[in-house]
Chains A and B, each alone.
Chain A
């Protein structure tokens, strides 16, 4: 008697569940029709690291996005915007899991983020297969807009190539004819320094040595002693975060600063590390697509708004988030708030162009990558603090796409 009762309950349960229309069998066998998002809310999924080593970058990206959406009242084309942020922990597996959650469970209209290139690569196939518009707002791995290009992936941040290549010619012309390269040993460090090497040697310079300390090296003394005894005019370095703090500090401590000019990517002297370096970073030259000290009215307005809301200086990642939010908003405005057709959304994204705090930006329709200015900045001592100054502008830098 009891057993029959249980069987009946189970049967009813199963029938009810299967009617719930969203089962895996159903979604993989029937064609993907337009998503049934009838309520007037547009959902944007953001995949960002909220814990782990990259947590502060994720936090700043989110802050930048929130700042922009707030400035337009969290509304676009009459519809409300909802931002759903999921923690990737900078782990590709978790990133994929969260991406699936955002796409399948939360039914987002657009995806944005990631900080880690590994996470971006990991979700690339899923995003492409599910036709989910994905606006990459940080991850700079070259292949994302080259061999791994997708109709639905557009990048508004930067590529490792843009960062490294832009300093090459300038370094040969203004710094010296020989350079020693030191870069953190991970894909980002390797890609940026390779691009620099490409440009620098093409201009006529000579790279007399290269060293790649493991990511997270705490003691560069050994590498620095080797570099000191090498005969180079300058040192091109790629480090970020706490590595940048340690490298720049130790660069000065071991006496290299007065002998060899330190040049590198903007992350060597960015807003989040300069203060920690004390004055060790003074004299560094770097290439980057945005700096706090960029003197334009758009940048001043952005900085003003950011500092008022968060009581802290915006970092590169904050700007990336701000721009990404604006691009998304303008694209959604162009499709009248109707995000049901991903191809139309993506086309709208490709047409977005405006003057951002980093200068004029637009998309390259072939590579799906952003076309932006690159700036050469120099770090000086201003009122006892290390501050950057833009000393050269390289306009409209395009990524070659292969």
Chain B
């Protein structure tokens, strides 16, 4: 019984990890309709910047947690202004391809700056403790991830439901032309959303990479993970992403525990099953084609 409870905790913590990584992608796709294939790259930049900050400049994890996502946000702003804003008229597919090309470019730029060695981010001692419950042991950092995920989800939900910006976003999801007709500067909304998406990607990078590690091609592995979660949860819904993260996290963890030979296979099988039975994902709303 203890083992099951322990695996449940593992699953939830892995699920929250997935949520932290994916929420930025979900937001951008839901609002802009652009699947940002450079999302993994932004995540990676956040992780590498945090690495530099924690090992070479400030030696302080918390400071890195604050600064790194901001740097990624600024980078996303530049990307949106230079690459995406002038090309909205080309259509969604073209912009997806643009982000794909961008991911390739960022891949080499980061390997020039940070090299190709395997790196890892040192944690503050308070988070490196080991906690005991269910007769098992857990690193404190895993619980920090759970807390971070829940806090993040709550903030996003609050903004979405209770603030004016959130209302605009919800409206924009349903009908872009309408809110534009109502006098909202749609271009500004897009830029802000992409910036926030970048910030979240960078934040994900700082929070997740102490567990997932930093190594070449990490951005593509992370992107695939995020895509799976995104698809399972459905588009245009933070709640969907949250639920999907938990589902994928728990299914993967128990899968590894019960049928370890099928580990790699399982997550994609899950994705296929969800797509076949519920094409819009678990909680997705049909996104209007523009």
**Interface residue ranges, A against B (CB under 8 Å):** 51-53, 55-56, 59, 185, 211-214, 216-219, 221-223, 225-226, 228-229, 241-242, 245-246, 249-250, 253-255, 272-273, 276-278
Contacts and interface: CB of A to CB of B under 8 A. Distances in A.
B257 A226 contact: yes
A222 B10 contact: yes
Interface string B100-131: 00000000000100011111101000001010
Query: What's the dominant secondary structure at chain A's contact region?
Result: helix
Given A221-B13, A225-B6, A242 B215 contact: yes
Interface stretch (B57-65, B81-89, B135-143): B135-143
A228 B136 contact: yes
Lowest 7 A-B CB distances belong to which pairs? A255-B137, A253-B139, A55-B116, A242-B215, A222-B256, A276-B120, A221-B10
A218 B214 CA distance: 11
B213 A218 contact: yes
A246 B264 CA distance: 18
Nearest to B2: A229
Given A228-B136, A254-B137, A254-B139, A56 B253 contact: no
B120 A211 contact: no
Given A59-B116, A214-B263, A242 B138 contact: no
30 contacts: A51-B216, A52-B217, A53-B216, A55-B111, A55-B116, A56-B115, A56-B116, A56-B118, A185-B264, A218-B212, A219-B17, A221-B142, A222-B11, A225-B3, A225-B10, A225-B257, A226-B3, A241-B215, A242-B118, A242-B213, A242-B215, A246-B211, A246-B213, A253-B128, A253-B130, A253-B137, A253-B141, A254-B139, A255-B136, A276-B118
A212 B117 contact: no
B63 to A, nearest CB: 20
Interface of B: 3, 6-7, 10-11, 13-14, 17, 111, 115-120, 122, 128, 130, 132, 136-139, 141-142, 211-218, 221, 252-254, 256-257, 260-261, 263-264
A242 B216 CA distance: 9
A229 B216 CA distance: 34
Query: What's the dominant secondary structure at chain B's contact region?
Result: helix
A213 B120 contact: no
Nearest to A218: B212
B47 to A, nearest CB: 12
B116 A217 contact: no
A192 B94 CA distance: 46
A53 B3 CA distance: 34
Contact of B212 (A56, A246, A253): A246
Given A52-B217, A229-B3, A255 B130 contact: yes
B6 A53 contact: no
A217 B263 contact: yes
B221 A216 contact: yes
A53 B221 CA distance: 11
A254 B112 CA distance: 35
A221 B212 CA distance: 12
Nearest to A58: B116
Contacts of B212: 218-219, 246
B118 A241 contact: yes
Nearest to B13: A221
A241 B221 CA distance: 15
A253 B117 CA distance: 23
A254 B240 CA distance: 30
B120 A277 contact: yes
A245 B116 contact: no
A52 B256 contact: no
Contacts of A228: 136
A217 B138 CA distance: 18
A229 B118 CA distance: 30
